[in-house]
Amino acid sequence: MTEPAATLLSARGLTRTYPGVRALDGVDLTLRAGEIHALLGENGAGKSTLINLLTGAQPIEAGSIHLDGREVRPRSPADAAASGIVAVYQEITLLPNLSVAENIYLGREPTRFGLVDRARMRREAAILLSRFGLSIDPAQPLSAFSTAVQQLIAIARAVDMSARVLILDEPTASLDSAEVAVLFRLMRELAASGMAVLFVTHFLDQVYEVTHRITVLRGGKLVGERKTAALPRLDLVAMMLGKLPSGDNHLQRHAAREPGAPFVTVKDLGKRHLVAPFSAGIRRGEVLGVAGLLGSGRTETALLLFGAERADAGEIIVDGAAVTLRGPRDAIRLGFGFCPEDRKLDGIVPDLSIRENIVLALQARLGWVRRLPLARQRELADTYIKLLNIRTPDAEKPIQLLSGGNQQKALLARWLATKPRLLILDEPTRGIDVGAHAEIILLLEKLRDEGMALYVISSEVEEVAAYADRVMVMRERRQAGMLTGEEVTPSAIIDAIVTPVDMPPPGRAA
C-alpha cells in the first residue's frame, strides 16, 4: 500500500448533544486523498452522529469541517453532496420500484426540451455502471437485483455525483464473501483515483484487509487515529472496548467470595442462524459477564435466555429442573428480568408515565384482572425513584422526557419491582451520563451482594473485569471462551475476543 498524500477532509472538534447525553464530544477526523479509512467503535460510540454531521443530516453544534482547505458547513445531505461528501447506507436508500437508471439520476435527470431524456439517461447509466464492472440493463427496476448489486449502484450514483469523500456505512453487512471482494476492489479503485473512502464496519478482518488508517470512537469521544498496518488487533480491540494501559487499572476487582447455590444452568443453548450453542452457569449472588464485539452474538444469547427468541437446541435448567421458554412471559414467571440494549425501541414505553413504566412488568406478571391499586403503584414508583435516584419532579411525567441514564434506571426499577432472581442486562451503561453510569454500576454490585444472579452484557471490559465473577466471551456468533476467577482480566477478555476460533462461523456452514 502506498502512503496516501494530502489531507482531503479535516474535521475538528465536532460536537453534538442530545437531551441528557453528549453523543459526540470534540471529535477530530482526518481523511487523506487516496485512502480507505476505517471508522470503528461500539454501538453508541458516536459513529452515526459523526456521519450525520459530515453529511449535513444534523446541524453541527461546535467544530468545523474543511474540505480541500475550504470550510464547508453542510445544511442537508443534498448540500453535502454538492460539496462532494456522499454517504451510502447499509439499508439502501434508493427506490426499489424505479429503474436502475432512474435511481442513479434521481433528482438530476438529464433533460431535453424540458422533458426527461430517458434514452440518454439509460445510455449514460450503462456507461457509468460498466466502469464499475456491472453489465446490467439500466432499464430494469432496482428491485430486480441482489443487495450487493444495489449497493454498487448506490455507490455508482454517489461517485457520479462527483463525490470526493465517500462514506460507506456497514456496506458489507448483508453481502457474501465474493460480493465483498468485488466491493473491496471497487473501493481500492476509487481511492486510487484520489477519493477518500470512510468505511464503517464491525468486521475487523475486513478492516485489516482493506483500510490504510483507523479512527476509533468510544462513548462519543475520539480514542485515537492509527495506521492500520501498525496497530495490532489486540490493541485495536482494547481501544474500542476502553481498556486502559496495563498497570493503570483504577477499578479494583472485588474480593473472591464463596459461590452461592447454582441457579440457572444453560446447556448447549442455540438457534440456527442466530447463535451457535453455548453453555454457562449462573449462581445466586454472582455476575456472569458477557463480552464480545458488536455482532458477536452476545445480545442473541440474552434473547434466548429470556425466551424472546425460541431456542432450537439445548436446554435451560433452573433450580435443577429443565424449563421450556415459549416467550418472555415464561421467563418472567421464573423470576427473570431483561433490560434490552435498545432502550428507546425495546425498553421504555414512551407515551406512558414513569409510574406506568415502572409497574408494567409486575402488572403483566399479575395479569390484567388483578390491577395494582393506584396507591400501591405510586408507592412503588416513588420508592424506586428514591432508591435509584431517578431525577424527575414526579412519577407522572412521560418517561420520554427523562435523560437516557434516568430512563435506564426506570427500566431497572421495572424489573426490580418484580423481585427478580435473575436480571439480564444488555449494555446497561451505554449512552448515559457519567453520574448515572457510576450509580448503575454500584447498584449492580449491591444487587449481586444481596444474592441476585446477574447476566451482564457489556463492551466496557474494565468494568466487566471488575464486577464479574466469570466472563463468557463471544466471537462470530459462538462462545469463544469462559474466563473464571483470576483469569478475569481486561487483557484476557480482549485476548479471547481477538483470538480466532477454530471452527467456521455458524449459518454459513449450516
Partner 1 sequence: MSGWFMEARSRLALLALVLLANVLVAPGFLELRLVDGRLFGGIIDILNRGAPVMLLAVGMAPVIATRGIDLSVGAVMAIAGAVAAATVNAGHAWPVAVMAALGTGLACGLWNGVLVTIFRMQPIVATLILMVAGRGIAQMITEGRVLTFTDDGLAGVSSASLLGLPLPVLIALAAAIITGLLVRATALGLFIEAVGTSPRAARLAGVPAPGILIGVYVWSGLMAALAGLIAAADIRGADANNAGLWLELDAILAVVIGGTSLYGGRFSIGLSVLGALILQGMRTCILRSGLPPELNLLLMALVIALVLVVQSPACQPAIARLTARLTRKGTA
Query: By the criterion CB under 8 A, which residues form the site for partner 1?
Result: 306, 308, 327-329, 332, 338, 340, 345-352, 356, 359-361, 363-372, 414
* Residue 367 burial by Cβ neighbours in a 10 Å radius (0-12, 13-18, 19+): exposed
Rounded to 5°, angle at Cα 312 from 306 and 317? 50
- Is-contact 349 355, C-beta < 8 A? no
| CA gap 99, 138 in Å, rounded | 6
Q: Which is nearer to partner 1, 251 or 364 (by Cβ)? A: 364
Q: Which is nearer to partner 1, 185 or 329 (by Cβ)? A: 329
Give the SS3 label for residue 80.
helix
Q: Which is nearer to partner 1, 30 or 400 (by Cβ)? A: 400
Q: Which is nearer to partner 1, 78 or 349 (by Cβ)? A: 349
Q: How far is the CB of 351 from partner 1 (least distance, A)?
A: 4
Q: How far is the CB of 384 from partner 1 (least distance, A)?
A: 15
Residues contacting residue 204 through CB under 8 Å, at least 6 positions apart: 233, 236, 237, 293
| CA gap 198, 149 in Å, rounded | 20
Q: Which is nearer to partner 1, 296 or 377 (by Cβ)? A: 377
What is the helix, strand, coil percentage profile of the chain, to 5? 35, 25, 40
Residue with cell 421495572: 414
Task: Compute, in degrees rounded to 10, the torsion defined by CA atoms 387, 389, 393, 398.
Answer: -90
Q: How far is the CB of 396 from partner 1 (least distance, A)?
A: 8
Q: What is the bridge-based pairing of β-strands 470-475 and 287-291? A: parallel
Q: Which residue type does 249 have?
A: N
- Is-contact 302 424, C-beta < 8 A? yes
| CA gap 130, 333 in Å, rounded | 59
Q: How far is the CB of 347 from partner 1 (least distance, A)?
A: 6
Q: How far is the CB of 3 from partner 1 (least distance, A)?
A: 48
User: In this structure, what are the phi and psi dihedrals at residue 131, rounded to the nearest 5 degrees?
Assistant: -65, -25
Q: Which is nearer to partner 1, 125 or 381 (by Cβ)? A: 381
> Beta-strand (E) ranges in 73-157?
85-88, 111-112, 115-116
- Is-contact 63 13, C-beta < 8 A? yes
Q: How far is the CB of 203 from partner 1 (least distance, A)?
A: 27
Q: Which is nearer to partner 1, 128 or 412 (by Cβ)? A: 412
> Beta-strand (E) ranges in 153-310?
165-169, 196-200, 213-218, 221-227, 262-271, 275-283, 287-291
**Set of cell numbers at residue 365:** 406478571
Q: Which is nearer to partner 1, 93 or 324 (by Cβ)? A: 324
Q: Which is nearer to partner 1, 371 or 446 (by Cβ)? A: 371
Q: Which is nearer to partner 1, 219 or 340 (by Cβ)? A: 340
| CA gap 483, 486 in Å, rounded | 8
Q: How far is the CB of 415 from partner 1 (least distance, A)?
A: 9
Q: Which residue type does 356 have?
A: E
What Å distances lie between residue 334 and 192, 346, 390, 456, CA to CA?
Answer: 59, 21, 28, 18
Q: Which is nearer to partner 1, 347 or 481 (by Cβ)? A: 347
User: In this structure, what are the phi and psi dihedrals at residue 89, rounded to the nearest 5 degrees?
Assistant: -100, 165
Q: How far is the CB of 23 from partner 1 (least distance, A)?
A: 22
Q: Which is nearer to partner 1, 174 or 400 (by Cβ)? A: 400
Q: How far is the CB of 339 from partner 1 (least distance, A)?
A: 9
Q: How far is the CB of 475 from partner 1 (least distance, A)?
A: 26
| CA gap 478, 52 in Å, rounded | 33
| CA gap 478, 428 in Å, rounded | 22
Q: Which is nearer to partner 1, 157 or 421 (by Cβ)? A: 421
Q: How far is the CB of 459 from partner 1 (least distance, A)?
A: 21
Note the maximum CA span of the chain: 84
| CA gap 192, 35 in Å, rounded | 8
Q: Which residue type does 381 have?
A: A
Q: How far is the CB of 43 from partner 1 (least distance, A)?
A: 17
Q: How far is the CB of 160 from partner 1 (least distance, A)?
A: 37
